[in-house]
Structure 1
């Protein structure tokens, strides 16, 4: 049986570094901050394993080292999601400035094999969006030592992460509604609680209710699924209750569109009879009738920062690779015309 060819991953495992670092050392890539100790460990591991990349493999590696993957879990086309498009806009500017390639894939909401796709795409690093806590594939990404940034917060994972402060942002939304004298406030989440952002926004909703001595009523909470339709159906359920809420907090603006549509179809005026507040500031939100009050997220800035974090991680010396970073960016509420004091 033919012996398996030694790969750069084998050299990296033996030297205790990433495949990217192996490539930088063996290709003498300029401008990379790699210590002499790390360089010698890689060279020694390559020599002991008998690793000799051919010219075609070397050219492929040089191309790969300039390619990063953006993998987005989503239930519909990511290109119809304004928040995702603003993320990509911010990433594109940074990618172009650094002369690297960006490969974009839409992934299923559950069970994505990130590493297999990364190998097929020939990428040197990953940015993952809309991840969920129960996805065991995330730990496999961490264990593989491929440079990665998760655009979410998973406290159990030793990986670079960037997100907005979803919990605080949601709390501020509900506090605003309470300041308008609403006490029966419903929430339609934008995703199941397995998704960290959805869970944290729910926690912020409950924080605000508790701080105002308002009891939590589970019948006022409905689960959306990233889509307008899920917001519409959730609102239809809320309207079946004998005592209606006076305000609805939608977990994102896309879900809020469905909420507003259901209220309109049921003859309920916004904000005269029901207040609605969103989260994300989708580019259409200001043009609705009435314009949507919502939490503004720095999507383009998040995208640019995620790429910067990943490129820094790809350039790091092996000794620094265990020092992960988590960045939380602030959001702010923009008040428009979709919320008002309850009409008793």
Structure 2
């Protein structure tokens, strides 16, 4: 005895089991949820369980959640494509950390790519005004280009979620886990100062978000503390960098600090185009892990990201939010690992305006 589902194949419902067992649907619900009351006899309980098996009953996860149950499912929603991961392989160690901790805590994972976006459209959590992540007890959000209005809405609805990366959302407090970009950047610039670099060029992204701003805050604090002469630029993504670097070198710069690893490859190309050697003519620091294989041979200097630890901590915070309804938003900042590398060296001895040869 099965009811027809107009959206797919036949599916047995609790009402079907109730009719077959000669009991109310409420009784079936109590038995199948494990909340058997004393007034339900053992014989009735066993009959309901037997019928649920023979009729092929499978609990609807969304319905269980609406009934107050926990599915032991954690969602992972990305605002950017996760597969393929070329050029964005920070997702891989993030997911490794998420998976390992979810398994340790006996939680299942469900990857959401987009609820209402569709091909060629921005990814969205909501479809027809409904939160499509609701099948999961809570979700981890990651990726750039998020819709901050819907993230705020998600927070106001009380849905448990954790963002990977610091996000300051207007009108809402949210949980996030991030790396200590400010401290790590400060340490990188301090090392340059200790190697007698007195003037440096900072190359940032054209539209900075919180992680970029945290890096820049560390840069500014170190520059101030060490009395360095600096230039900061935020060129367009497709801008030619050779002229910018040449101008800085002519003005006496002996080091370049790259704000994000994604810009690393084109900065190295621009330096090679100028005929400059790294690090003899110009030291280069990268504020994060570079994902471009052809640049890895440089063994770049800067710092490494705690990707796996961030993923692990995001799961821990999320499970806490799910299991403790009184828990408020939690923010976690994890240390980065220093990367000495081979692209930073003692500042070359030359006067401002001298061109390295």
Aligned-pair distance for 1:73?
3.5
Out of 200, 208, 219, the position equivalent to 2:214 is 200
Q: Give unmatched runs, 5+ long, in structure 2.
A: 1-29, 36-56, 351-357
Out of 214, 224, 234, the position equivalent to 1:222 is 234
State how many pairs are aligned.
283
Aligned-pair distance for 1:93?
1.4
Change (3 A) 1:196 1:111: farther
Q: Deviations over 1:5-25 (max 9, x none)?
A: xxxxxxxxxxxxxxxxxxxx9
SS at match of 2:132: helix
Q: Which position in structure 1 is the counterpart of 2:259? A: 251
Mapped to 2, the partners of 1:276 and 1:213 lie a distance apart of: 19
Aligned-pair distance for 1:198?
0.7
Aligned-pair distance for 1:207?
1.1
Q: Deviations over 1:142-188 (max 9, x none)?
A: 11211100122345542221111111111111111122122221122
CA contact (8 A) 1:95 1:102 kept: no
TM-score w.r.t. length of structure 1: 0.70
Mapped to 2, the partners of 1:90 and 1:29 lie a distance apart of: 33
Answer yes or no: is 1:336 the counterpart of 2:347. Answer: no
SS at match of 2:281: coil
Mapped to 2, the partners of 1:331 and 1:29 lie a distance apart of: 46
SS at match of 2:102: helix
Q: Which position in structure 1 is the counterpart of 2:161? A: 148
Mapped to 2, the partners of 1:106 and 1:126 lie a distance apart of: 13
SS at match of 2:111: strand
Q: Give unmatched runs, 5+ long, in structure 1.
A: 1-24, 31-54, 225-229
Aligned-pair distance for 1:126?
2.0
Q: Deviations over 1:42-69 (max 9, x none)?
A: xxxxxxxxxxxxx877444459834333
CA contact (8 A) 1:192 1:223 kept: no
Aligned-pair distance for 1:342?
2.5
Q: In angstroms, what is the RMSD of aligned CA positions?
A: 3.5
Aligned-pair distance for 1:324?
1.9
Aligned-pair distance for 1:103?
0.3
Aligned-pair distance for 1:121?
7.7
Larger radius of gyration: 2
Mapped to 1, the partners of 2:139 and 2:300 lie a distance apart of: 34
Q: Deviations over 1:190-227 (max 9, x none)?
A: 5622x10011111111111111223553xx32247xxx
Mapped to 1, the partners of 2:214 and 2:31 lie a distance apart of: 44
Mapped to 2, the partners of 1:190 and 1:106 lie a distance apart of: 26
Aligned-pair distance for 1:277?
1.0
Q: Which position in structure 2 is the counterpart of 1:236? A: 242
Instruction: Pick which of 258-267 and 126-135 moved more.
Output: 126-135
Instruction: Pick which of 85-94 and 126-135 moved more.
Output: 126-135
Q: Which position in structure 2 is the counterpart of 1:292? A: 300
CA contact (8 A) 1:153 1:162 kept: yes
Answer yes or no: is 1:324 the counterpart of 2:333. Answer: no
CA contact (8 A) 1:111 1:135 kept: no
Q: Which position in structure 1 is the counterpart of 2:173? A: 158
Aligned-pair distance for 1:249?
1.1
Mapped to 2, the partners of 1:289 and 1:331 lie a distance apart of: 21
Q: Which position in structure 1 is the counterpart of 2:186? A: 171
Give 1:296-315 correspondences, 5 Å limit. Answer: 296-315=304-323
CA contact (8 A) 2:256 2:282 kept: yes
CA contact (8 A) 1:82 1:282 kept: no
Higher helix proportion: 1
Mapped to 2, the partners of 1:29 and 1:173 lie a distance apart of: 57
SS at match of 2:176: strand
